[in-house]
Structure 1
Amino acid sequence: MGSKKLVDILSRQGYCITYPSILELETSTAYSCASNNQLCPSGIQPTSILSSGVAWDNYDRFVETSSGKNTLHDTVGTIYQNIATEEELNIIQRNDASIEAPCNSSLNVRDLAGRRKRSFEEQSFEHLPYAKQRRPKFWHSSVASTEEPQNLINFQQSYFIWLLSHNLQIPNTPMCVGYNAKIFKDDSRIQKVEYLTQINNSPTDPAVVKETIRRSLQIASECQKNFFSVTYDLTMAKIALRIQSAEDEFKNLFISFGPFHIMLSFIKAIGKFISGSGLTTILIDSEILASGSISSFLSGKHFNRCRKIHPLLSLALQLLHLERFLNKMMRTRKILENT
């Protein structure tokens, strides 16, 4: 349907413009979008009132080489922002009315002969050099709060009710996540997610990682943020932290790991504790875990399997602990009654 021959036939009949004219319009549109110096998509409000953040990850084009080297991975960024309330929209509109938008009328849409261009010439980013990387210094705080959270008692009580419900075998009692979803009201703000301009280079390249940091800093400036949160994939985050430690211009960015990798590290730490304790044998005998999956379960490499088994294992141990406590209390009560 989108072939050149079909468009030419429709153009001769007077139903549409010619194919070269379509190319000229598409090229002009591309240059018009490229002339906008802002990195924030049109759906994102460039304001400091709304909470915003950026995440960078790799995008696999599902094209792999035989050796695994030079696989076509692109770097894709996403930006998220709270959806503005009616009151916030009024404030944003008043601020926008007081600021005049710059007008950029110089578009490079004609060639040397003065004709409109029919192909878009992409301007690739500059491979910025970076200084010698130093090992990142993490902030350590020796100040510990002695006050307990105000909602700690309520949480402990609700958690014990959930554990007691499983002990009494009350039907349709969900697991911990489902239980909390039923009893707590989620007042979290709804956010919108937009894609940033894609970088057609490997995300593990230090120059590409530095470019993502530079773009994140520019987005923070457009959103009028003094400090900005940037989330990276684990491999990219390690490079980004080293670059940030070497250059002070990126110190206002808070570089964090993705929650997926944080959970994998936590699961691997739990696997270190239960390794050799006999719990894996119990899981195999109960047909919850296959004998060939012990290594991936303990190392946390199989996320879905670990996400399913660890809550079950934790609940079983807590129920055994509770039953032992109740039996001990019953024996103590009988001893006191007989004396």
Structure 2
Amino acid sequence: MGMSGKRKRNDDSDAEDSKKSHAEKKEQFRPAMIKNKEKRSEVHAKLKQQKKLEKRAKAKARDAAVKRAIELGEELPEKKVPRTIENTREVDETVCKPDDEELFAGNDADEFSSILNRQQNPKILITTCRFNSSRGPAFISELLSVIPNAQYFKRGTYDLKKIVEYANKKDFTSIVVVHTNRREPDALLIIGVPNGPTAHFKLTNLVLRKDIKNHGTPTSHQPELVLNNFTTRLGHRVGRLIQSLFPQDPEFKGRRVVTFHNQRDFIFFRHHRYIFETKEIKKIESKGKKNEDGKSEKVPDHKTIARLQECGPRFTLKLISLQHGTFDTKGGEFEWVHKPEMDTSRRRFFL
């Protein structure tokens, strides 16, 4: 009896272990483990269809719950927010808060305060690197149409320090240097005059106005400036540097909008104008609506539609470095420099 009891216990334990191992294997099963190609694709298609049906069933259940809540006058079920890289970014202590008194006190004493407080009008000098390219002049001519009070000066053989001295004497507030490589603009250098700072941006995805389908032609009105998602201390400073290039009194009659949109530390530049169009409304033969007095209300024949027309250019900027003072390669002190070892996580952003 003793030996038979032990054998039964061992058999039971072996059966339990086999069930566990079978369940683990079932959990770890993936279509990629099937060696037969036809069978693998068949199983993969079945799993994909099953997931699709489950997703559709969840959507139907959610819509039914919302409809039921509206009919009963109850609170709507909480809407799930999809997980994105932006809303799961790493916690950053330098993110600006609305009640940050130190930040606002610093705004009144920084290098851009005189322009942003309308005590001084921005005056921009645009130049190139020493070796210009074929697309460089076309890009500069479009920058001149985007930035008011901007003037182009040919670089020639002048050193950048000499250009900074000249800009300071002629009361320029900023210098924009367009750097080119292999006939393509690939970097922008924005220098605040006379006290800096100097920002070095990598320039990519340049599309000139002539290459944009159905592009518009901008007027000479001062544009409205839109800055999005410059949330950290560094982003706030870069945003104020960009803001100092434009006048602070936009002329809304021109319907021009210049946008710098920061997303995942890439700054997307767009230049649009508003267009208002009047379209006829198709009349449907039906009984007209009546107001409180019993008189029939007049249905409008036309409606106004607003849309955006892109004027160009279109490009993307990425901050490489931010330097104290004006441009100085040897003795310059940097506020921030991007290094490869900083890219440890896809969810870590600096602007």
Structure number with the higher helix fraction is: 1
User: TM-score, normalization: structure 2?
Assistant: 0.19
Structure number with the higher strand fraction is: 2
User: TM-score, normalization: structure 1?
Assistant: 0.19
Which structure is larger by alpha-carbon Rg, 1 or 2?
2
Larger RCO (CA within 8 A; separation ≥ 6)? 1
